[in-house]
Structure 1
Amino acid sequence: MDSNTVSVGEFEFQCGETIDDLELAYETYGDFTGDNAVLVCHALTGSAHVASRGRFEEGDQAYAWWDDIVGPGKAIDTTEYFVVCVNVPGSCYGSSGPSSTNPETGEPYGPDFPPVTVADWTEAQRRVLDELGVPALYAVVGGSVGGMNVLEWAKRHPDHVEKIVPIAAAGRLDPQCLALDGIARRAITTDENWQGGHYYDGPEPDQGLALARQIGHVMYFSKSSMERRFGRRAATREAERAFPTDPAGRFFPYRDVESYLDYNASKFVERFDANSYLYLTRAMDNYDLASGFEGDADALAAFDGAALVMSFTGDWHFTSDQSEALADALRATDTPVAHHVVDSDYGHDAFLVEPDNVGPPLADFLEVGLDGSAISDTEESDEEPSDFAPVHNSLFSS
C-alpha cells in the first residue's frame, strides 16, 4: 500500500471558483500493468484508506473501510488489479477542504472553500490518475454517494472506463432523503459554536455534528435491523447520556438505541469536520445523473462498457427500485448490464458490512463479466420490480 498526497495545481470547480493548489490524498494497492487499474470511490465520510486494516494516528479514520473486499485474494484482488482510492475535495482526510489552510490567508478556508460537486470529485480523481500515469480504468467501483461518483465517470469519461459497479446508489436522492439531510445540516448550522463556519480557533460545533451524524446513521439501518439489534431495551446502567434531557425525561429509560447513536456520534466528531459534512452532503443531495441531458439513458449513452448494478432489499436510502431504474437506463442504451439484488434486511450499510454478499458477484464481474456464476439479474427474473422493493422503504412506515 502506498499513501500519498499530490498537488494537481490550479483547479476550477464546477461552481466557477478556482483555487491555486488543490491537494488530494490517495492510496494505491498492487502494481500497475497498463490495463488493470480499478478506481474505488469512497462513500460520504470515507477516506482513501480503503484496505489494509489497521489504526492511524488519532484524528484519522480509524479503520480501512472496505478491507474485506479489497486486498490479496479478495473480491478486488490487489495481486491482479492496481487499486486507487482518492479522498475527494471537500473532505477532511488529507485532500483540500474547508479545514485546509488557505495559502492566501494562512487560516483554514472554512466556508470560503468553493462548493464541491460529484463532478468535481470525478475531475479531481482524473487529475490524480494523470499524475500516476493511468490513462484509462479497467473498472470504477463505489457504494452510496461513491456509486454516484461511479456514474459520473461513465457520464463524463465514457472512453476511459471499461466496467462500472455502482453499489447501493442511484441517479439522484429522493425527497425523503433530501429532507433528512437538510435537517442534519440545520443541526450543525444552528449549533452556537458553528459561528458561520469560522470555528477553527475556538470550540467546534460538536453537538450539531453529532446530531447530524445520528440522523444519517438512522438512515443507514432498516427497521427490522434496528428491531433485531436494539429493540426497546434500556441501556446498561454504565451508559451515560451524551445529551442533556428534560427533568421529566429522567423518569423514563435511556434506551439502548439512544446509547448506541450517542456513542458512535461521539466517536465521529473526533475524526470528522463539521464544515466538510455540510459540503459533502450538499454534493450528494445536488447530484442528478440526468443534469445537462434529456434523461439518465441519454447521460449514459456514450458509455460502451459493461455495468453491474447492486442493491439491497432492506435499503431505503437508495432503494432497489431506484437501482432498477438505473439498470433500465443502461439497458436502453444497449449497455450490457445486470442488476444484482441482495436479499438483506440490514439497510444501506449492507454494502460495507456484508462482504459475503458483495464480494462474489463483484469478483465474478471483474474477472469474467456478466456471465459470472455469482451474478443474478432482475431482468432475467419473472418478478416485477415491486417484488424486490425494499422491505422498509420508508423511515416512517408502520
Structure 2
Amino acid sequence: MTTRDAVSLGAFTFECGESIPELEVAYESYGEFDGENAVLACHALTGSAHVARRPDAGDETAGQARAWWGDVVGPGKAIDTTEYYVVCANVPGSCYGTTGPASENPETGEPYGTDFPPVTVGDWTRAQRKLLDELGVGRLHAVVGGSVGAMNVLDWLRRYPDDVERAASVAGAARLDAQCLGLDAIARRAITSDPDWNGGHYYGGPEPEAGLARARQIGHLMYLSKASMDRKFGRRSAGRDATREDPPDPAAAFFPYREVESYLDYQAESFTDRFDANSYLYLTRAMDDFDLSAGYESDADALAAFDGELLCLSFTGDWHFTVAQSDALADACREAGVSVAHHVVDSDHGHDAFLVEPEKVGPPLSALLAEGLAGRAITDVRDPDDEFAPVHTSLFSD
C-alpha cells in the first residue's frame, strides 16, 4: 500500500518567530502501519517525499524524476515496506509540494518569494512530528536519513528523544565545517547575483536560471571525490558533437570542451528545470545553520536524553560529511551513554555514495531495523580484525 498526499497543518510558527497562516506538507507513505513499525525517512537537500518507487505512479513524483532511495526502500529491500510503514515528508521551504517560497501566500495571492520566513532543520523536525500526529503515528521504530537528512535525524534525537527507538545517520555530521560553509555561500551568491533573481520575487518573469545552474555545479563538485571524478572524466575532451551551454569567449575555441564540463552543464540544465532558486537558498541556509550542540553544553549533552540506538554510516571518499565527523558524533554518543555504532564504508564515490551504493548502505540499515546494533552488520574498514558480516545478501536482486 502506498500513499501520496498533502496534509494541512494549519498555522505554523517557525523558529525565527515568524508565522504563516497555513503549512501544507507533502508526503508519501509505503506499507501498513501496525502501531509499532513506523520508519521516518529524511531526505537530503534537494530531495522530495519520493523515497521509494510507486507501482501506481511509475517512478516520477513531485517533479523529481526517480525515487531517491528506490534501491534501499521498498518490498524486499533493506527498509522492507512489507514489514515497515515508511513515511517520507518533503520539508518546509522546498518546492516539491510542501509550502515554501514558490507557494502562494494566501494573504496576498502572490508567491511568497523571499517574504517566506527563514527555515531551520528544527522547523523540518517539528513539521514532521505534526504530520506523524495527523497520521496517528506516535513513537517511531526508526528515523533514518542521509546528508542534511542525517542532521534532521539528529535533531529528532535531541528534540523528541522519547519518540525514537532506533536511528541512522547516513553520511551525516553534527555540523558543517568551514570549507563547506564557504562553498555554500558562493553557491548562494551565484543565485543572488543573477540579474533575474530580482530580490527573490522573480515568479511570473525570467527566473535566475544561470545563477541556480552555477550553484548546482558547485554542489555537484562537493558531492564527488577526486577518485570518482578521475575515473568518470579524467581530462578527456567531450568530443566534437558536444556543445557548450553558452557561447564561448573568443579564446575558448582553442581549448577542448572537457567531459567534466559537459557533465556539469547537463546537471545544471536538468536541475534548473525542476528546482526553485529561492528554495535552494532557504534549504542550504538551514543546513549551514544546523549545530547539534546549539543550546546545549556539547553534542553529548544534546543527545543525553536519547535512550535508543544510533547507527552512524560514513564513507571513506566523502570529504563533505567526513568519516572523522561521524567518529566525533559516535564519541559524543559514548560520552552521553547512548548506544552507538559507527559503520565505515570503503568507497571512492564521495558524498554521493549513500545514494549510488545501495549494496553497501542497505545491509547495515536492514540489520539495525531488524535487530538493533546487536545485528553486527557494522564494521570499520580501518580495522583489519573487524570483519563485516552482510545480512540478507539477496536484498538488491530483482
Q: TM > 0.5 between the two?
A: yes
Report the number of matched residues. Answer: 382
1:46 maps onto 2:76 in alignment: no
Which of 283, 289, 300 is equivalent to 1:280?
283
Which of 322, 326, 330 is equivalent to 1:323?
326
1:219-248 C-alpha deviation (Å, 9 max, x unpaired):
000001000000000002221111343211
CA contact (8 A) 1:338 1:377 kept: no
Q: Distance in 1 between matches of 2:293 and 2:382?
A: 23
Q: Secondary structure at the match of 1:285?
A: helix
1:97 maps onto 2:61 in alignment: no
1:256 maps onto 2:233 in alignment: no
Residues 240 and 378 (structure 1), Cα distance of their counterparts in 2 relative to 1, 3 Å cut: closer
Aligned letter for 1:321? A
Match of 1:5 in 2: 6
Q: Distance in 2 between matches of 1:374 and 1:232?
A: 39
Which of 44, 66, 91 is equivalent to 1:88?
91
Q: What root-mean-square deviation, in Å, do the aligned CA atoms of Structure 1 and Structure 2 show? A: 1.4
Residues 209 and 184 (structure 1), Cα distance of their counterparts in 2 relative to 1, 3 Å cut: same
Deviates more, 1:48-57 or 1:4-13: 48-57
Match of 1:140 in 2: 143
Aligned letter for 1:10? A
1:22 maps onto 2:23 in alignment: yes
Cα deviation for residue 336 of structure 1 reads: 1.2
Q: Distance in 1 between matches of 2:178 and 2:124?
A: 23
Residues 261 and 232 (structure 1), Cα distance of their counterparts in 2 relative to 1, 3 Å cut: same
Match of 1:215 in 2: 218
Cα deviation for residue 343 of structure 1 reads: 0.3
Residues 352 and 307 (structure 1), Cα distance of their counterparts in 2 relative to 1, 3 Å cut: same
Q: Distance in 2 between matches of 1:380 and 1:350?
A: 21
Q: Distance in 1 between matches of 2:214 and 2:185?
A: 12
CA contact (8 A) 1:339 1:378 kept: no
CA contact (8 A) 1:32 1:81 kept: yes
Q: Identity rate of aligned residues, in percent? A: 69
1:359 maps onto 2:367 in alignment: no
1:225-275 C-alpha deviation (Å, 9 max, x unpaired):
000000000002221111343211110000000000000110000000000
Q: Secondary structure at the match of 1:348?
A: helix
Match of 1:309 in 2: 312
Q: Secondary structure at the match of 1:315?
A: coil
1:56 maps onto 2:56 in alignment: no
Q: Distance in 2 between matches of 1:47 and 1:201?
A: 24
Q: Distance in 1 between matches of 2:291 and 2:101?
A: 24
Aligned letter for 1:21? E
Q: Distance in 2 between matches of 1:380 and 1:296?
A: 26
Residues 147 and 133 (structure 1), Cα distance of their counterparts in 2 relative to 1, 3 Å cut: same
Cα deviation for residue 381 of structure 1 reads: 7.5
CA contact (8 A) 1:209 1:274 kept: yes
Match of 1:391 in 2: none
Q: Distance in 1 between matches of 2:225 and 2:284?
A: 20
TM-score normalised to the size of structure 2? 0.94
Q: Distance in 2 between matches of 1:201 and 1:55?
A: 29
CA contact (8 A) 1:141 1:164 kept: yes
Please list every run of 5 or more consecutive structure 1 residues that lacks an aligned counterpart in the other structure: 384-398
TM-score normalised to the size of structure 1? 0.94
Cα deviation for residue 136 of structure 1 reads: 1.1
Cα deviation for residue 349 of structure 1 reads: 0.5
Cα deviation for residue 378 of structure 1 reads: 7.7
Match of 1:392 in 2: none
Cα deviation for residue 377 of structure 1 reads: 5.0
Cα deviation for residue 20 of structure 1 reads: 1.0
Q: Distance in 2 between matches of 1:380 and 1:309?
A: 16
Cα deviation for residue 370 of structure 1 reads: 1.1
Cα deviation for residue 372 of structure 1 reads: 1.7
CA contact (8 A) 1:139 1:164 kept: yes
CA contact (8 A) 1:111 1:198 kept: yes
Match of 2:121 in 1: 118
Match of 2:395 in 1: none
Aligned letter for 1:98? P
Q: Distance in 1 between matches of 2:128 and 2:190?
A: 31
Aligned letter for 1:51? A
Aligned letter for 1:132? L
CA contact (8 A) 1:338 1:379 kept: no
CA contact (8 A) 2:346 2:381 kept: no
Q: Distance in 1 between matches of 2:59 and 2:334?
A: 42
Q: Secondary structure at the match of 2:123?
A: helix
Q: Distance in 2 between matches of 1:209 and 1:352?
A: 22
1:21-55 C-alpha deviation (Å, 9 max, x unpaired):
10000000000000100000000000000001634
Cα deviation for residue 332 of structure 1 reads: 0.8
Match of 1:388 in 2: none
Q: Secondary structure at the match of 1:129?
A: helix
Residues 307 and 272 (structure 1), Cα distance of their counterparts in 2 relative to 1, 3 Å cut: same
Match of 1:387 in 2: none
Q: Secondary structure at the match of 2:350?
A: coil
Cα deviation for residue 380 of structure 1 reads: 7.8
Q: Distance in 2 between matches of 1:239 and 1:93?
A: 32
Moved over 4 A (4+): 377-383
Q: Distance in 2 between matches of 1:287 and 1:244?
A: 40
Cα deviation for residue 129 of structure 1 reads: 0.1
Q: Secondary structure at the match of 1:349?
A: helix
Q: Distance in 2 between matches of 1:245 and 1:182?
A: 26
Match of 1:73 in 2: 76
